Chain A
Amino acid sequence: EPEVTQTPSHQVTQMGQEVILRCVPISNHLYFYWYRQILGQKVEFLVSFYNNEISEKSEIFDDQFSVERPDGSNFTLKIRSTKLEDSAMYFCASRLDISNQPQHFGDGTRLSIL
């Protein structure tokens, strides 16, 4: 069965550095998402992406965050200048079309900011 794959599985970065988290969604999916889960807390929506643009974003997704689909297969989340509070598990998800289809999640990237 097709899967959403995320790399790396664990990223350790110094505070203030830029980090790029990578995702390969399921190939024929059209809608893409990033979520994060701080340790011990709920999964939180960050951003949705459709037709090469952001369709919705949360308050968490400020100017330090950006997303890109550079080559039609990868979907990336960039954090420009990381803060300690950015430490979390980041999940990428993709969905086939606009109907009530499930979002398929990757296994996440654990981001640790030192």
Chain B
Amino acid sequence: KNQVEQSPQSLIILEGKNCTLQCNYTVSPFSNLRWYKQDTGRGPVSLTIMTFSENTKSNGRYTATLDADTKQSSLHITASQLSDSASYICVVSPFSGGYNKLIFGAGTRLAVHP
């Protein structure tokens, strides 16, 4: 069964600190892996997209890594800011003829405290 698991469920860090969120997936065949940020009451916003041939992708202070052999990904946030407080969702797209339905993880709820 296609699944996406994330850890930790929640995380509290101090402003300015770094953190790393983890994602494991069992989706096969695999097209791409995405990280989304979801603020409370808002829709998800895309941070990064990686295909199976890409190992890392950066977007400002966000850096995602992908190991397609072990089916693991991580999202590293550098120098956290209060506005980084949100849910971070790992999302995998199975290969499905290009229509790209998305399979969502449950997310990691990050709280950045001053």
A100 x B32 contact (CB < 8 A): yes
- Report yes or no: A98 in contact with B102, Cβ–Cβ below 8 A: no
Q: Do A56 and B46 contact each other (CB < 8 Å), given the known contacts A42-B105, A45-B101, A45-B102? A: no
Q: Which residues of the other chain, A, contact B51 by a CB distance below 8 angstroms?
A: 100
**Residue B62, interface by CB 8 Å:** no
- B96–A91 touching, CB < 8 Å: no
B1 at the interface (CB under 8 A from A): no
Count how many chain A residues have C-beta atoms less than 8 Å from C-beta atoms of the other chain. 27
Chain A residue nearest in CB terms to B101: A45
- How near does chain A come to B33, taking the closest CB pair, in angstroms? 10
Report if A106 contacts B (CB, 8 A).
yes
Interface of A is mostly: strand
Interface size on B, as a range, is 20 to 34
Contact A43-B41, Cβ < 8 Å, known A98-B98, A100-B51, A102-B49: no
Give the number of residue pairs across the A-B interface with Cβ within 8 Å: 57
Known: A31-B99, A48-B99, A56-B96. A104 touches B104 (CB 8 A): no
B42 touches A100 (CB 8 A): no
Interface string of B19-40 (1 = CB under 8 A from A): 0000000000001101000000
Q: A residues within 8 A CB of B43?
A: 4, 91, 93, 105-108
Asked if residues B45 and A56 are in contact (CB atoms below 8 Å), the reply is: no
Interface check B13, CB cutoff 8 A: no
A113 to B100, CA, bound (A): 30
B68 at the interface (CB under 8 A from A): no
A1-44 contacts to B (CB < 8 Å) = 4, 31, 33, 35, 41-44
Q: Report A33-68 residues with CB < 8 Å from chain B CB.
A: 33, 35, 41-45, 48, 50, 55-56, 58
Inter-chain contacts of A104 with B (CB < 8 A): 46
Task: Known A-B contacts: A43-B44, A45-B103. Give 9 more (CB < 8 A).
Answer: A41-B106, A42-B107, A45-B101, A50-B99, A91-B44, A100-B100, A101-B49, A102-B46, A107-B42
Q: Name 24 A/B residue pairs within 8 A (Cβ), A-sorted.
A: A31-B99, A33-B102, A41-B106, A42-B104, A43-B89, A45-B102, A48-B100, A50-B99, A56-B99, A58-B101, A91-B43, A93-B43, A100-B31, A100-B32, A102-B34, A102-B46, A102-B49, A103-B102, A104-B46, A105-B43, A105-B44, A107-B42, A107-B43, A108-B42
